Amino acid sequence: MPSKTSAPKAPNAPKPLHQARHGRLLLGLAALLAVTFFLALFLGRYPSPPWLPPSLLADDRVAQSLVWNLRLPRALLAILVGASLSASGTVLQLLFRNPLVEPGFLGVSQGAAFGASLAFVMLGGAVAAVQGLAALFALIGLALAVFLARRIRYGGWVLRLVLSGIAVSALFAAGVGLMKYAADPLKQLPDIVFWLLGGLWGSGWGQFWLILAVSLPCLTLLIVLRWRLDLLSLEEATARSLGVGERSERLLVLLAAVLPVAAATAIAGIIGWVGLIIPQLARRLSGASSRTSLPLAMLLGALFLLVTDTLARTLTSGEIPLGILTALLGALLFLWVMTLPETKEVGK
């Protein structure tokens, strides 16, 4: 036996400190999210900037309708989309063993972009047509990427999916380029460009229920399976020797991670950076294991998107596309956290 044996731990040893810290972090963020949510309902330009006095809700019909039919579903949608993108980013990064993977890379983002631009150019750009075609092509992009990955005779499961995802995205990106080229430069092109930058304007309860119906089951499944997700990030030989990571399990997790993104992208356009940065932040704050980092990423993502969307609609009299703000604030946040001194390493 090795000489360096240590006394076995008492079974009721206290939980490590970082678990308690993680719990406090989650609670604090949840409280912050609740406060932000409440603020988001009242911040805006009616009746005058920067906010709507709550007393107005008692008898002002316009204020009631504004809060109930526009701001409430939009704030809920922001929370849902933020949580979905971040959860999906976390899971796909694990599944592909690559911390630089974005949720939309499997043909979903570019597929949706192509569907939306097609609707703008061919179908006149009605909201339902744009969102419908974006959803349809996001799913076609995903299906194509998964299908082609099975036909590639090169490399393992991960490499094949990455390759086919890149190829499918490039195909649809070419399609988007074609649509932009064919679009009327004065009417249709600005619409396409604006949509591609992402945003939650024009979303109401209908869109919220739709996304909820897709996201809720998927995110619940991911949360429940989150310890197994870590196992899927191991190399194939190791994972299989541990009896996990058969193709059906990977496919189930993949779909649960990508479907909410397809739905969110169809409604809100391409909202970049959230799904890439928030998982990194969460891992940085709570450690790599998705037992802690997945719930944290979902909360952080929800908060981040709610804040950016509220800024997007209140900062100027118009609407700043959400994608611009998520990229700007996301990159700043990312740089700040990544340059913080490391404090968590314990032991020698």
26, 72, 288, 324: which one binds other proteins (CB under 8 A): 288
Binding range to other proteins, per CB under 8 A, among 7-15, 67-75, 128-136, 330-338: 7-15
Query: Per rule CB under 8 A, is residue 21 in the interface with other proteins?
Result: no
- The nearer residue to other proteins, 77 or 225, going by C-beta atoms, is 225
Query: Per rule CB under 8 A, is residue 227 in the interface with other proteins?
Result: yes
- The nearer residue to other proteins, 241 or 316, going by C-beta atoms, is 241
Rg for the chain (alpha carbons), in Å? 22
Q: Which of residues 231-250 bind other proteins (CB under 8 A)?
A: 231, 233-235, 237-238, 240-244, 246
Q: Which of residues 171-190 bind other proteins (CB under 8 A)?
A: none
Where do runs of H (alpha helix) occur along the chain? 17-42, 61-65, 72-95, 108-122, 127-151, 157-182, 188-196, 205-224, 226-232, 236-241, 247-268, 274-286, 290-314, 322-338
- The nearer residue to other proteins, 9 or 61, going by C-beta atoms, is 9
User: Of 61, 17, 92, whose CA–CA distance to 276 is shortest?
Assistant: 92
3, 48, 55, 317: which one binds other proteins (CB under 8 A): 3
- The nearer residue to other proteins, 237 or 340, going by C-beta atoms, is 237
How many CA atoms does the CB half-sphere of 111 hold within 13 Å? 30
Record the tokens describing residue 283, joined without a space: 């891992």
- The nearer residue to other proteins, 61 or 348, going by C-beta atoms, is 348
Q: Are 140 and 77 in contact (CB under 8 A)?
A: no
Distance CA 234, CA 230 (A): 7
Query: Per rule CB under 8 A, is residue 153 in the interface with other proteins?
Result: yes
Q: Which residues pair with 279 in a beta bridge?
A: none
Distance CA 295, CA 222 (A): 10
**Contact set with other proteins (CB under 8 A):** 1-6, 8-9, 11, 16, 94, 97-99, 153, 224-225, 227-228, 230-231, 233-235, 237-238, 240-244, 246, 283, 287-289, 291, 345-348
